[in-house]
Amino acid sequence: MICKPHSGAWQPHHNAIQNCLVKAIALCLREVAVNCAIPSTDSQLRPDVVVTDKAQKKIILIDVMVAFENRTPAFCEA
C-alpha cells in the first residue's frame, strides 16, 4: 500500500499505539518483535508486531490500523 503525503503525521500516532500494545503484551509473553519477518517462514511480510508463544506453539501477528480522525469526511475524500 502506498501512503498518502500526510502519512508522516500519521506514523507517530500509529507507532505510539503500537508501542503501548508491545509493552502490554511483553508483560505476559516475553517474545515480542516489532517490524520483523515472521519466524520459521520464508515470507517477506513484516507485520507491525509478532508475538511468539512457545508454550502454546503459537505465533500471533498484529498489524495496527489507526482510523482517520475525521472519519466519514476523510474516508470519502480519500
Residue ranges per domain, the chain? 7-77
Q: What angle do CA 4, 7, 52 make, to 5 degrees?
A: 115
pLDDT reported for residue 78: 61
Single pTM value for the model: 0.68
Cell numbers for 71, please give them.
472519519
What pLDDT, on the 0 to 100 scale, is given for residue 22?
93
Write out the chain's pLDDT in tens, 78 residues: 455 666 677 788 889 999 999 999 888 777 899 999 888 889 888 999 999 888 888 888 999 987 766 667 766 776
Question: What pLDDT does residue 19 have?
Answer: 93
